[in-house]
Amino acid sequence: MPDADDSLRLDDPLAAPTALSGAALLRAQLPSLPNGPGVYRMLDGKGEVLYVGKAKSLKKRVPAYAKPAALSARLQRMVALTRRLEVVTTANEVEALLLECNLIKRHRPPYNIVLRDDKSFPYIYLGKATASQPFPRIGRHRGAKRKDCDYFGPFASSGAVNETLSALLRAFPLRSCPESIFTNRVRPCLQYQIKRCSAPCVGRIEAADYAQLLGQAHDFLAGRSGQIQTRLQAEMQAASERLAFEQAAALRDRLKALALISARQGINVASVEDADVIGLAQEGGQACVQVFFYRAGRNYGNRAYYPVHTQDADAADILEAFLGQFYSERPSPKLVLVSHDPGSAALLAEALSVRAGRKVEILRPQRGERCQLVEQTVTNARQALARHLAESGSQLQLLERLAELLELPEPPRRIEVYDNSHIMGADAVGAFIVAGPEGLTKSAYRKFTIKRDDLTPGDDYAMLREVLCRRFGRLQREDPERQGGQWPDLVIIDGGQGQLSAACATLADCGVMALPLLAIAKGPDRDAGREVLYRPEHPPLRLDRRDPTLYFLQRLRDEAHRFVIASHRAKRAKAIGRSALDRVPGIGAKRKRALLNHFGSVRSIETAGLLDLERVPGISKAVARAIYDAFHEGG
C-alpha cells in the first residue's frame, strides 16, 4: 500500500499550483486524473489539507466537486477554498480506504468527519512464566504489546480496568509490583497483608502453586469463569470437610471476588463472545457514537464519541468515517454490531479484515438479543448526546456572559489559563489549560519546565514571564497573522495586579498587542467566592459569589491549578526517584543494585571507604574510585 505522503510530485500537472482555484481548478485537472482507485486531497493556499476522499475511480469521483451547485453548503465552502489537488493511486479500493483513514487521522481536515478522541484503551496483562521468572506479574497496560505477556481487553476506561484488576487480585493473589521492587523485597508488603498478593518475593508460595493461580486467572479472563468457580467451590467444600476452615474461608473470599467481577461486567451475554456494539444518535447538527466493548462474553465498559463536522452528514457517512478511523490503529473484534448500515459496509469489512489478518464482520441485527444490545447502545448514545448538547448550550451562555462582562467583541472560542507550581523554587513548572465552547480541550494543555537558572527561587513573576515569552514568542514565529486557530481569544492568569502587570509587559516585549487579559486573585483568606478580577486599564471587579460566571472562572482556575500541580508532582517524583548514584559515570542499574544490596542505602555508600567499595561484586577499582571521588570531591 502506498505511504500517506506518496502523492504526486509538485512538478506533476495535478499537484502544481496554478492561478485557478475552486471548481475551475478541478475542471482544468479532470483530463489528467487516472481512471483507477486512489485517494484525493484538496489543499488551500497555504498547503493545508482541507478534505481527503477515496474513490474506486478518481476520474469518475472528482468531477462531482467541479459542480458546486449539487454539493452541500459545507462542501461548497471547501471547493471555494481549494487551491491545489493531490492524488495518490492505489492497487485497489481497500487500500484506498485504509489510506484515506490514515490521512484523515494525520491531518484532521476541517471538512472531513473527524474522530477527535484518539486515546488508546487500557488492557489487563498477565506475564508468562519462564525459567528465569517463575512469578510473572499482573497489571494494567496501554500501548504496544509484548510477546511475553497475554492481554485481555480492551476496557473502556482506566476506572473499569482498575476495578476489575482490584477484584482479580482478591480472587487470584498474583504479584502486581514491578521487577525492581520484587527483586529487592526482604519481607512481604501491604498487598500480602490485605490478601491481594501471595508474596512470591519472599517465598511464601511455591512456583507450582503460583503457576496454578496464574492459569486460573488466565482462564477466568479468557471467559472460562464457570469452570473456575466450580473448581473453587469444590475445593472450598473439601477444605470445610477436612475442618480446614481458614483455607475454606480464603476460598470463599476468592469466590466472592469472582462473583463481584461477574456482576459488574454482565457475564453470560449469550449472543456475543467478542464484539463491539456501536450505536449512533443525531440531534441539533451534532452526533454521538456510543461504543460498548464485549470480550469473552463480558461487558468491558462503554465510551461516547462526538465526531466533528457532522452537521450535514447522514448516519451512513458518519458511521463509515467513524469505523475507519476508530479501527485504524486499534484491533477490531471478530464482530462489529452497528445501529445503522455504514456507507461502503462490505468494503469497510474487507478493509478491517485485511488490517486484522482475520475475518471481521459488520452486522446490523434486526431481532433477538443482539438487536436489544444495539438498541440499548443507541439509547445510551441519545442520552449522552442530550447531556452534551445541554452542556454545550450552558457553556455557550457562560461564554456570552463572560464576553459581555469583559467587553469582548464576541464570545471567546479559545481561552488559555496560566499557572505555575514549585516548592521554594525547586522543580518549577508552568502550564496552561485550554477551554472553549465545547468545554475543556485537554489535548491542547501544555506544560513548561522553567529553564532559566538565574531566577530567584520562588519568583512567580519571573516564571510567568518565561512561560508567556516561550508560548507567545513561538506563536509569533509560527502564525503571526493569527490564522491557525492556536491563538487564544482570552488569556487568564492565576494571580493579582502584579501578575497582570508582568503578563502585559511580557506580551508587549513579544510584540503581541490587543490580546484580552484577565487576572483572578483569590479573595481575603483565600476564600472562594470573594475573588477579585483585574483587567488592564480597568478598575478591579468583584462578582456576586453566586454568579454563574464566577463559578465558571473558578472552575477554569482550579483546572489550571490541578494540571500544573500534577505536572510539578510528577517532576518532583522523578527527581526523588533519581539517587546520587545516577550522577556517577559508569553506574547503571546492575551496579547500582549490587551497591545497594551490599551497603543497604545510598547514605552508606556515600560514607564507605575506597577499600569497602572495591569489595562489592562487579565493582572494579576504577569504578570504586569514581564512586568515592563523586562523594568526596576527589579526595
| Start and end residues for every CATH 3.30.420.340 domain found in the chain | 275-387, 415-478+487-575
Q: Are 455 and 596 in contact (CB under 8 A)?
A: no
Instruction: Return mean pLDDT, the chain.
Output: 83
| Start and end residues for every CATH 1.10.150.20 domain found in the chain | 580-632
Q: What is the structure's pLDDT at 528?
A: 63
Own/partner contacts of 548-553, CB < 8 Å, gap of 24 or more, are 548/398, 548/401, 549/398, 549/401, 549/402, 549/405, 552/398, 552/402, 553/402, 553/492, 553/520
Tell me the per-residue pLDDT of 573-625, one tens digit each, with 9 for 90 and over: 665 445 666 667 777 778 887 887 777 677 778 778 888 888 888 888 888 88
Closest CA to 344 of 93, 620, 80: 93
Q: What is the structure's pLDDT at 167?
A: 78
Is CATH 3.30.420.340 the classification given to domain 415-478+487-575? yes
Q: Are 363 and 335 in contact (CB under 8 A)?
A: yes
Q: Are 339 and 356 in contact (CB under 8 A)?
A: no
| Start and end residues for every CATH 3.40.1440.10 domain found in the chain | 22-107
pLDDT at 179 over 50: yes
**Grid coordinates representing 480?**
503571526
> Which pLDDT band holds residue 261 (cuts at 50, 70, 90)?
low
Distance CA 203, CA 188 (A): 9
pLDDT at 428 over 90: no
CATH superfamily of 275-387: UvrC, RNAse H endonuclease domain (3.30.420.340)
447-464: b or e for each residue (b if 16 or more CB lie within 10 Å)? bbebeeeebeeebbbbbb
For 22-107, give the CATH class: alpha beta
User: At how many degrees (to 10) do helices 22-29 and 73-81 cross?
Assistant: 70
pLDDT at 288 over 90: yes
Closest CA to 561 of 437, 445, 474, 401: 445
Closest CA to 312 of 67, 74, 109: 74
Distance CA 68, CA 80 (A): 9
> Which pLDDT band holds residue 6 (cuts at 50, 70, 90)?
very low
Tell me the per-residue pLDDT of 78-131, one tens digit each, with 9 for 90 and over: 999 999 999 999 988 999 998 998 899 888 898 988 887 656 788 889 988 888
Tell me the per-residue pLDDT of 523-564, one tens digit each, with 9 for 90 and over: 665 556 678 999 998 999 988 877 888 888 988 999 999 998
Q: How many CB atoms lie within 10 A of CB 592?
A: 16
Q: Are 317 and 113 in contact (CB under 8 A)?
A: yes
Distance CA 126, CA 214 (A): 8
Q: Are 337 and 277 in contact (CB under 8 A)?
A: yes
- Distances, alpha carbon 295 to alpha carbons 124, 298, 303, 342, in Å: 12, 5, 15, 23
Q: Are 218 and 150 in contact (CB under 8 A)?
A: yes
605-621: b or e for each residue (b if 16 or more CB lie within 10 Å)? beebeeeebbebeebee
Is CATH 1.10.150.20 the classification given to domain 580-632? yes
Distance CA 38, CA 28 (A): 19
Distance CA 577, CA 561 (A): 24
Tell me the per-residue pLDDT of 488-526, one tens digit each, with 9 for 90 and over: 999 999 989 999 999 999 998 888 888 999 999 886 655
Q: How many CB atoms lie within 10 A of CB 60?
A: 11
pLDDT at 204 over 50: yes
Which residue reads 569504578 in cell numbers? 623
Q: Are 176 and 138 in contact (CB under 8 A)?
A: yes
Q: What is the structure's pLDDT at 50?
A: 93
Q: What are phi and psi of 93, to 5 degrees?
A: -70, -30
Q: 21 or 150, which is more confident?
A: 150
Closest CA to 335 of 323, 344, 343: 323
